[in-house]
Each structure stands twice: as structure tokens, then as C-alpha cells.
Structure 1
Amino acid sequence: MPSSRATLIEVAKLAGTSKTSVSRYFGEEHDRLSPSLKRRIAQAAGTLGYQPNQMARGLKGGHSKLIGMLVADIRNPFSVAITHGVEQACRQYGYSLVVCNTDNDPEQERQHLDLLGAYQVEGLVVNASGSPEHQLHTIMSQGTPIVLLDRDVDHVEAEVVGLDNHLAVDMALEHLCAQGYQAVLYVSEAPEQSSTRQRRLSRFHQAAELRGLHHATLLLTTEDGTASQQMLSDFLADHQQHACAVLCGNGNATLAVTALFQQLGLTLGKTGLMGIDELDWCALVPPGITTLGQPTDAIGKAAIECLMHRIAPHISAMPTTVSFAPGLIERGSTQR
């Protein structure tokens, strides 16, 4: 039976070659070996069930082949989708991904950054939950490239890859206006820790004013939904002479507002509902919820291409786009 603890020396002995040749076979000098020797080593490794310790090899040679990723909230559907895109792109370049979830906790964020530094990651994708500028400066000063995902960090000079937030809000309001809605309530999670939420909220007020829309804002809290339900009811009552719609700033807000619609018995379409970020279940709630979908795979690929350009410029050019347009997915919730 093959042993899971087979050693490099055992593989060399079975293949009838040296330990150095086996090491070259599993390393970056693979092409220096003859085809017949490579076949013997591969057969011996297969027979013994040998697997090289890539972590140890990487640390010894100064190349861990690891990319670190810091995610603000792994439960957020955007985080799940974007992590998939980043991981796919890593594999294309022969790298493995180490993901750490900070749960929007700045202290966990600091601890995870220390952990990723200990793993000697070759690059770091950061979806920040706090303001870890000091730690990021330290990591960058050690030669580790960083890309910021979706959210920027004050005083950290790095590419920020993500959605064009101004364009997303403009597209949403243009769609709602075209559908005949005259009053729009913008619903968002607390914006303090997220530059993305701040930009979308600020742009909403500007764009709604420009279009002459009646508008207001509802900021969700972690408490029970009674206050949010009352604020939505008040908004509709205050604008009962107008066609009203609700625009949700992200996927979590869309889920919360969909629950409020059900609690209040509101008819989707008669009262419009639209969300920034596409969610799998949005197509399943009759008559379907209109969303702006993010090209998460393209965003993830661009983030990794930015890192690869810093790590190995000869294998990847800097991407031409780091700010992406959303795609409108129109469904019945915005059809009056």
C-alpha cells in the first residue's frame, strides 16, 4: 500500500537516481531532466504516493506560491462570488489562495494580516473592514504587493479594483425613472466602515437631486426590523401621490428589504424594488427582483493580474480596467 509519508530519498532510491534530481523534478528545474528520468521519477512517486511539501519548498526558496485574501464579511454574497473569481485567477497563474474572514472586525483584521505575513504570501488582496494602513504600509515595505478590493484605505497607494459605484447608482436611477417611479428610498447598511457604501450613498443623493426625484435614506441596524419597517411605511405614506421605489445598496440590504415588503404586504412592481448586486434567489421571488449584477469573475481576475504584474511582470501585463460597469438584470419588481 502506498505510504502517505513517503520521503524524497525513498522516491530517489526507487527511481534509481539522486535526491537532487527528484528535488529538481518537483521544483523549478524540472526541464533540466531527461524525459526518461522524469518518467522514472513520476512512476516512483506514484507508486509510493509521494507528495512534496510545497509550503516548505516555497519558504526555502523564497517563493510560497501563496496569495492572501482578506474578506470583510464572508457571509456577504458579493464576498463569496468575488472570492471564487480571485481563486480561479490564482489557479491560472499556478498560485494557491489563503482566505481570511475579518467579520467586519478591525481587530480580527489586524490579527489576520499578521497571520498572512507569517505565511509569507507573495501578494495580498484586501477587502478592508477597518483602516489597517499601518500594517499595510509595513507589508508593502517588505516588498509584498497589495491590491485593494472594492474598498480603499486612506493613505495606502495601491490599485483599487471593483465596481464603478457612481455609474451603478446612475444606472439604477435611470432605470427607475424610465419605469415611471418618482420617489426613491435608498436602503443601505451603516456606511462608516466602508468607502463603497459611502460613495454609493453620496452619489444617490446627488443623482436623485439631479433627476428631480423625491428621495430619502434608510440605514439598516443590527436591531430588530421594527424601526426599518416603520420608516419604509412612513416613506410610502409621505409619497402616496407618487410612484415609489426602493433602491438597495447591496445584497444584504436587498434581502432585508424583501423581508420588509413581505411583512407589509407590498406588491412588487406597484412599489418598485431594485438591488445593487445580483443574488441567486432574486430570480425566484415572483415576479423577480431587478438587480445590477457585478462582473465578479472579471473583477477577481483583474485584482490578481495587478498582483502578478508586481510579482512577475513578464507573465502578466497590468489590466487596462480596474473599475467595472454593472449589468442590468431587469425583472418584474420594477415593472409598474
Structure 2
Amino acid sequence: MPKKVTITDIANLVGVSKATISYYLNGNTHKMSLETREKIRQTIEATGYQPNKIARSLVTKDTKTIGVVIADITNPFISSVIKGITDTCTSKGYTVTFTNSDNQEEIEQENIARLKQQNVSGIIIDTVDANSPNISQLAFDKTVMVDRQAKKLRLDTVVSNNRESTVNFLREMKKAGYQEIYFVSFPIEGISTREMRYQGFMEEVTEDSSHLLILEEPGVEKRIYDLIQKAKDKIAFFTMNGPTLLAFMKIVNKTSFRYPEDFGLGSYEDLAWMDVLNPNVSCIRQDSYQIGVLAARHLLAKLKKEKSSSSPKLLVVPSESVIRNSF
């Protein structure tokens, strides 16, 4: 087995001290000549030297690890967010550690504590409850939140333009001649994404609560059937996200009603199977990958002190309407 190249070997080959090599590896090169920096770079490249991350972290207090706290790993939206985070962190020399809270605040709190014990450099959190006291234990300068936002912003947060994109999509439904539109959701209160999308609905369609259909409420299936059967104008349903659309389709598929013949249909979130359905479903497409990229970039910039602010920022990634054949 070939001998592993050490920092001492690099120092001897370049003709400088180990301290100089250490300064180079840790980015402290401002007092170093361009010639010395280039010679170190070439020697490291030629020898294939790999710094000892554990030893390096003891010196720099930076483990080069980002902890990610996910509310529900089964949520299809989050997979692209995770990829965006991973791709960005890996390209900058950071590893990523993921935890799943299974939509339970107690588990989320344990996950945060575990990541802190591992001395991660920073945390990106897709939280169960953005307004939870759990959030107060997170360091402002080492944390970024994604997807859900608190009523009073405490952390830098990356979100979709939920309200605005819902308004724009519903205008397309209205242009297509739908006079009677209903908002379909699971319980809304306390979940910012649902609240913001419903605000967009109320702004563009109506504040009449009879146009809100909560799928877990008793009698909602019969109500949906009756609305379609008795509609005098063109009727449409807007579902809050992909899982809501799936649950709604299970209800209407028990009947002979079909879209777009009997009702119009649209949804927030664009999942692969929505384009495969016949007819395929019009939707609002979130750039979930870019949400992950932006969250990671912003956090890494904060860790490098490239971003400094004492007040939390809301970073918005625009969504787009994708009009297909469902209305």
C-alpha cells in the first residue's frame, strides 16, 4: 500500500513550514506570495494530498458539514430541495447530514440537538412548525429555514412566492371561463405554505368560506359530489399541493364525473405523474431545486461572513404556471 502523503511531506516538497501549508489549506493566504501559493497548489495536485478533515476542523472549528432537518422525508417536494442543497454543498467541499422529523416536533428537537453535538458548521431546516419555540435554539448566523415561514421572521428563510403564484394561476382559470372555483386542502391553520396559498385564493376568487373544502372534515366527499352535480356555472377545483390533488382524485374517481368535461382542475406543485395523467393536470411549478440551491448558497455565505445582517431576510424563489389540459 503506498504511503499516505502528509502535510509534512507537502511542506518539505515546497520548502516551507507546516504552518504555511496549514494557512494555505485554511484560506489564510493574504500574506503569502502568489509564487508560494501556486507552488503549494501544484504540489498538492501532483501528490493527490487529502487534508485530514477531523484534524483540520479542530484548528478551524469548522467541520465542513451541513446538517439538514427535514419535517417529512416522504414529501415529494422535498426531494428536489435536498438535491439542490447536496449539489451546492458538495461543490463547495461540504458534506451533508440529513435527519427526518416525521412531522413531530419532539423528534425535530432531538434531531437539532444531535446535529449540534456533531458540531455541524450550519443547519438548513424544513421545520414542522415555523412558529415553534424549538426554532429559538438555532443560531441566527448558522441557520437557514426553507419552505415554511414564521409569522414573525426569526431566521433567514427561503420560500416560493406562494400567494402571488396562486393569484396568477387562478386568473388563468377565470380567463378559461370558470365562474365557481373551490380551494381544496388539508387543514390550513399554522402551516404557512397553505395559509399563503389560501390568501391568494381569497384575494383573487372569494373570501366566502363555503369555497374552502377541507378534506379531513366530515361529509366533504358528499359535498364535492353535490357541488359538481348541481353546478350552474363552470366549476373548478384548485388543490393545495400534489398529495391533496391525489386525495381529491381518489374521491372523484369513485364517481362518473371527469375533468375537464364536468369540472376544471388545477393544483399547486408539479409532480411527474401529473403530466402522465390523461388529461394531464395544469399546475403551479415550484423551483424546489433552486430553493435548495439558494438556501445552501446563502448559508455558506453566512458561514464565511460574506453575508452579515442582524435582521432576518425572506428570500423568494418564483414559481410558474404550467397550463395543460385539465381546464
Question: Normalising by the residue count of structure 1, what TM-score does the alignment of the two structures yield?
Answer: 0.78
Does residue 310 (structure 1) correspond to residue 302 (structure 2)? The answer is yes
| Runs of 5+ unmatched residues, structure 2 | none
Residues 284-293 or 67-76, more deviating: 67-76
SS in 2 for 1:121: coil
What SS does the corresponding residue of 2:246 show, helix, strand or coil? helix
Instruction: Name the residue aligned to 1:180.
Output: 177
Work out whether 1:259 is the aligned partner of 2:250: yes
> For each residue in 1:15-47, what CA deviation from the matched residue of structure 2 results, as whole angstroms up to 9, or x when unmatched?
99999489849943698878788777667668x
Number of corresponding residues: 319
Q: 1:96-245 alignment to 2 at 5 Å?
A: 96-131=95-130, 133-140=132-139, 144-209=141-206, 216-221=211-216, 227-237=219-229, 239-245=230-236
Do the aligned partners of residues 29 and 72 (structure 1) sit closer, same or farther apart at CA in structure 2, a change above 3 Å counting? closer
Compute the RMSD of aligned alpha carbons: 3.7
Inter-partner Cα distance in structure 2 for 1:264 and 1:59: 64
Among residues 251, 256, 260, which one is paired with 1:269 in the alignment?
Answer: 260
* 1:287 partnered with 2:279: yes
Q: Find the counterpart in structure 1 of residue 80 from structure 2.
A: 81
Indicate conservation of the 8 Å contact 1:150/1:162, yes or no.
yes
Question: What SS class does the counterpart of residue 245 from structure 1 fall into?
Answer: strand
1:248 and 1:254 in contact (8 A); partners too: yes
In structure 2, the CA distance between the partners of 1:63 and 1:177, relative to structure 1 (3 Å rule), is same
Pick aligned residue for 1:249 from 223, 235, 240: 240
* Structure 1 residue matching 2:244: 3-state secondary structure: helix
Q: CA deviation at 1:63?
A: 0.9
1:120 offset after TM fit, Å? Answer: 2.0
Deviates more, 1:172-181 or 1:65-74: 65-74
Q: What is the Cα deviation at residue 277 of structure 1?
A: 0.7
The offset of 1:10, in angstroms, is: 11
Partner of 2:322: 329
Instruction: Give 3-state SS (helix, strand or coil) of 2:123's partner.
Output: strand
Tell me if structure 2 keeps the 8 A contact 1:136–1:156.
Answer: no
Equivalent AA in structure 1 for residue 242 of structure 2: G
Against the structure 1 CA distance between its residues 144 and 118, is the aligned structure 2 distance closer, same or farther, given a 3 Å change threshold?
A: farther
Higher deviation after alignment, 283-292 or 84-93: 84-93
Tell me the percent identity: 22
Which letter maps to 2:241? Answer: N
What displacement does 1:106 show?
Answer: 0.7
Give the letter for the 1:241 counterpart. K
* TM, length-normalised to structure 2: 0.80
The alignment partner of 1:322 has SS state of strand
Distance in 2 between residues matched to 1:16 and 1:172, nearest whole Å: 62
Q: Provide the C-alpha distance between the structure 1 equivalents of 2:293 and 2:6, rounded to a whole number of angstroms.
A: 35
Equivalent residues of 2:157, 2:314 under 8 A apart: no
Distance 2:295 2:127 in 1: 14
